[in-house]
């Protein structure tokens, strides 16, 4: 009897530590389960739920992908279990925890790669800029040549070459030129399109003769203009300023006409036109210091003044010139012939 009592007493003494160890084990499992370090199987979850009186939520039903029997992969052997940190773990909510073993879906919106919005290159040919033609500098004889009487256009030893006492200003158009062979004894002057002599513009082709002091210049012109701002004629300009000049012209300005213009440093002093329909006309310019008289004639004998005793400041040295132009209002050039060029210098 005493032995049985002793045995019962011994059994009780052995059961208590075992019970304490089992309870402690459950407590550890419960703590790890709540901390997320341990994911027990469903059977153990039910046991823990019974012990802790916490209902185990039913696993959610995956309606998009049918459940598979893929076992939950166990952590590789030897992988250390991370130690719990001091960061508080949020308490589990009533939201069911998914036990799916599929890879987590990346719900973040991917950053689109930059696209090249520039239009593809085309085979449009690159236009080559057209160079702007500048007026050619006026060539001058070394000194004013004292002449009196008729001046031939051709050189003494070569009638088809320009007389060396005369100068040539081509102007701005590559089409402008002169010719001494088309009509023997005459100077044929060709002006390209978009040429002019007006205010500060000086792009007309010219034949020049340097002179000084008082003078009288005369020439015969044959020209039949057809469009506005086509003119040819005779002029005198300052040797130092090509925007100071006087001139006579046969041309077309709202009809067939002859006219004159007096320009002082690019500003119009006086001008005027008179109706005239003949293709042949004679021009004469007379200078006495700063006084100028400009006249025209049908036959070279009977003269009609367009202006007389008109004052203009001009240098003693001047250039007598024969000109032709077809201004920027026209796209065609002009052709004129000059005869009987004569200069008297006093």
Among 322, 330, 338, 340, CA closest to 171: 322
Same domain, residue pair 48 and 153? no
Same domain, residue pair 47 and 153? no
CB 264 within 8 A of CB 312: yes
CB atoms within 10 A of CB 94: 6
Cβ neighbours for 234, distance < 8 A, ≥ 6 positions apart: 217, 218, 219, 221, 247, 248, 283, 284, 285, 320, 321, 322, 323
Helix (H) or strand (E) holding 89: none
pTM greater than 0.85: no
Spacing of C-alpha 123 from chain mean position? 19
Spacing of C-alpha 318 from chain mean position? 44
* pLDDT of the residue at 30: 67
* pLDDT of the residue at 56: 46
CB 266 within 8 A of CB 199: yes
Exposed/middle/buried for residue 295 (C-beta within 10 Å: 0-12, 13-18, 19+): buried
Residue-wise DSSP of 106-140: --SPPPPPP---SPPP--PPPPPPPPPPPPPPPP-
CB 216 within 8 A of CB 235: no
Strands 317-326 vs 206-212: parallel, antiparallel or unpaired: antiparallel
Residue ranges, the chain, pLDDT below 70: 1-14, 28-143, 145
* pLDDT of the residue at 174: 95
Same domain, residue pair 300 and 158? yes
CATH code: domain of residue 177? 2.60.120.200
Same domain, residue pair 233 and 339? yes
Domain that holds residue 40: 2-52
Distance of alpha carbon 100 from alpha carbon 60, whole angstroms = 9
Cβ neighbours for 178, distance < 8 A, ≥ 6 positions apart: 162, 168, 187, 188, 189, 190, 205, 207
**Rounded to 5 degrees, what angle do the CA atoms 319, 325, 330 make?**
160
Domain count within the chain: 2
Same domain, residue pair 23 and 161? no
Q: Identify whether 312 is part of a domain.
A: yes
pLDDT (tens digit, 9 = 90+) per residue, 143-165? 676 777 999 999 999 999 999 99
Q: Identify whether 111 is part of a domain.
A: no
Q: Identify whether 325 is part of a domain.
A: yes
- Residue 319 zone, left/alpha/beta (φ > 0; ψ -120 to 50; rest): beta
Q: Identify whether 90 is part of a domain.
A: no
Q: Identify whether 166 is part of a domain.
A: yes
* pLDDT of the residue at 33: 57
Q: Identify whether 141 is part of a domain.
A: no
Q: Identify whether 123 is part of a domain.
A: no
Phi/psi of residue 79, nearest 5 degrees: -75, 120
Same domain, residue pair 311 and 176? yes
Among 227, 272, 221, CA closest to 250: 221
* pLDDT of the residue at 46: 54
Torsion of CA 104, 107, 111, 112, to 10 degrees: 100
Q: Identify whether 88 is part of a domain.
A: no
Same domain, residue pair 294 and 189? yes
Same domain, residue pair 153 and 38? no
Same domain, residue pair 37 and 184? no
């Amino acid at each position: 009897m005493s032995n049985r009592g002793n045995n019962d007493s011994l059994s009780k003494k052995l059961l208590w530590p075992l019970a304490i160890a089992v309870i402690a084990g459950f407590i550890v499992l419960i703590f790890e389960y709540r901390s997320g370090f341990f994911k027990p199987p469903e059977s153990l979850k039910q046991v823990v739920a019974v012990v802790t009186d916490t209902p185990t939520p039913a696993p959610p039903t995956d309606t998009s992908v049918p459940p598979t029997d893929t076992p939950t992969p166990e952590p590789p052997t030897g992988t250390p279990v991370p130690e719990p940190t001091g960061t508080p773990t949020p308490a589990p909510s009533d939201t069911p925890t998914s036990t799916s073993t599929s890879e987590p879906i990346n719900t973040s919106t991917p950053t689109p790669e930059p696209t090249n919005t520039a239009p593809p290159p085309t085979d449009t040919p690159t236009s080559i800029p057209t160079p702007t033609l500048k007026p050619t500098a006026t060539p001058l004889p070394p000194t004013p040549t004292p002449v009196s009487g008729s001046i031939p256009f051709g050189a003494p030893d070569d009638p088809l070459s320009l007389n060396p006492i005369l100068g040539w200003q081509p102007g701005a158009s590559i089409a402008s030129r002169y010719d001494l062979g088309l009509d023997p004894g005459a100077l044929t002057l060709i002006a390209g399109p978009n040429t002019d002599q007006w205010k500060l513009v000086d792009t007309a082709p010219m034949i020049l003769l340097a002179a000084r002091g008082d003078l009288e210049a005369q020439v015969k012109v044959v020209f039949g203009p057809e469009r506005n701002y086509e003119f040819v004629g005779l002029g005198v300009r300052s040797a130092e300023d090509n925007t100071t000049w006087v001139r006579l012209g046969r041309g077309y300005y709202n009809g067939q006409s002859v006219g004159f213009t007096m320009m002082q440093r690019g500003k119009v002093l006086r001008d005027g036109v008179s109706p005239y329909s003949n293709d042949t006309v004679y021009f004469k310019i007379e200078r006495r210091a700063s006084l100028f008289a400009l006249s025209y004639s049908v036959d070279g004998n009977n003269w009609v003044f367009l202006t007389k005793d008109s004052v203009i400041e001009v240098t003693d040295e001047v250039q007598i010139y024969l000109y032709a132009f077809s201004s920027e209002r026209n796209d065609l050039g002009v052709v004129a012939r000059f005869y009987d060029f004569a200069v008297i210098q006093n």
